[in-house]
């Protein structure tokens, strides 16, 4: 008898109530999974950008030593871009790594070849107020980038919406007077977490993460 009931049930298929119940359960599970998936995706983007920035900083350090000149990571904080630039001694200008013309000569497009931050990522560190341990004395982006003329004159940079990490030919991070500095750092945020790349005067490059609004920095 039982086997006949089962066989009849299989032949009839699912009832409308059962289909609706399965659909509701599926919708509930999807709704529960979406926030977690969104959070994971955001975290992957953030740490991915932080590691990419760290790689760029490392590349600038290597380029400076290899070409026996100065090199920098130029962060365009308004347009969420970044690139490596190398000081060309013969032309007395900064040239984007892999390019041939002075970066300042770009007019259309106005921006030299650059890498974009991921969607939803911007430069900044939210409401955080303290830098990672044993790095900067004050939490801030690296100093504003120098123009070609400012670099020649060793004057402080004043290019708006910019931040530059500069290395000399020995791979040491330096300020506008070519003195070793521990104040270089680049920070990005997705509004939920902040990520930072710091450079000590020794040349040590570190990557950090902190939850917002007031989390502690964790070395990644």
The pLDDT-based confidence of 12 (bands split at 50, 70, 90) is: low
User: So what's the pLDDT on residue 25?
Assistant: 77
Q: Model confidence over 20-71: pLDDT tens digits?
A: 777 777 777 666 655 554 555 555 678 899 999 999 999 999 999 999 999 9
Q: Which two tokens stand for residue 121?
A: 């990522």
The single-letter DSSP state of residue 175 is -
Range 182-199 average pLDDT: 96
Fold of the domain spanning 2-219 = minor pseudopilin epsh fold (3.55.40)
Average pLDDT over residues 4-12: 52
CA atoms in the 13 A half-sphere facing the CB of 31: 6
Per-residue model confidence (pLDDT) at position 4? 54
Q: What is the pLDDT of residue 45?
A: 79
pTM: 0.82
Report pLDDT for 37: 47
| Phi and psi angles of residue 133, each rounded to the nearest 5 degrees, phi first | -55, 140
Q: Which residues contact 196 (CB under 8 A, 6 or more apart)?
A: 50, 125, 131, 132, 185, 186, 187, 188, 207, 208, 209, 210, 217
Are 191 and 212 in contact, with CB atoms under 8 Å apart?
A: yes
Contact 83, 112 (CB under 8 A): yes
Q: Is the peptide bond before 145 cis (omega within 30 degrees of 0)?
A: no
Among the listed residues 125, 142, 121, the one whose alpha carbon sits nearest the alpha carbon of residue 184: 142
What pLDDT is recorded for position 31? 65
Q: What is the pLDDT of residue 167?
A: 98
The pLDDT score that the predictor gives to residue 24 is: 75
Domain boundaries, the chain: 2-219
Enclosing H/E stretch for 166: strand 162-167
Mean pLDDT of 140-159: 97
Of 165, 167, 189, which Cα lies nearest the Cα of 178? 167
The mean pLDDT of 185-207, rounded to a whole number, is 96
d(CA 29, CA 52): 34
pLDDT in tens, 86-137: 999 999 999 999 999 999 999 989 999 999 999 999 999 999 999 999 999 9
Nearest alpha carbon to residue 193 among 207, 208, 211: 211
User: What does the pLDDT read at residue 38?
Assistant: 54
Structure tokens at 210: 């902190």
């Amino acid at each position: 008898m039982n086997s006949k009931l089962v066989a009849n049930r299989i032949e009839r298929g699912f009832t409308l109530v059962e289909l609706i119940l399965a659909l509701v359960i599926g919708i509930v599970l999807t709704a529960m999974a979406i926030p977690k998936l969104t959070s994971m995706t955001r975290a992957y983007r953030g740490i991915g950008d932080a590691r990419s920035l760290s790689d760029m900083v490392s590349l600038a350090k290597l380029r400076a030593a290899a070409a026996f000149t100065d090199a920098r990571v130029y962060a365009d904080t308004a347009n969420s871009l970044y690139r490596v630039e190398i000081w060309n001694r013969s032309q007395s200008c900064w040239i984007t790594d892999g390019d041939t013309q002075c970066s300042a000569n770009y007019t259309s497009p106005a921006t030299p070849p650059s890498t974009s931050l991921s969607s939803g990522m911007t430069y900044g560190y939210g409401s955080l107020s303290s830098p990672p341990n044993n790095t900067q004395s004050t939490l801030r982006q690296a100093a504003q980038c120098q123009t070609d003329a400012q670099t020649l004159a060793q004057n402080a940079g004043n290019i708006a919406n910019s931040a530059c990490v500069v290395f000399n030919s020995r791979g040491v991070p330096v300020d506008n007077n070519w003195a070793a500095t521990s104040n270089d750092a680049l920070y990005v945020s997705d509004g939920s977490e902040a990520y930072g790349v710091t450079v000590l005067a020794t040349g040590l490059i570190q990557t950090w993460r902190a939850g917002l609004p007031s989390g502690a920095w964790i070395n990644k």
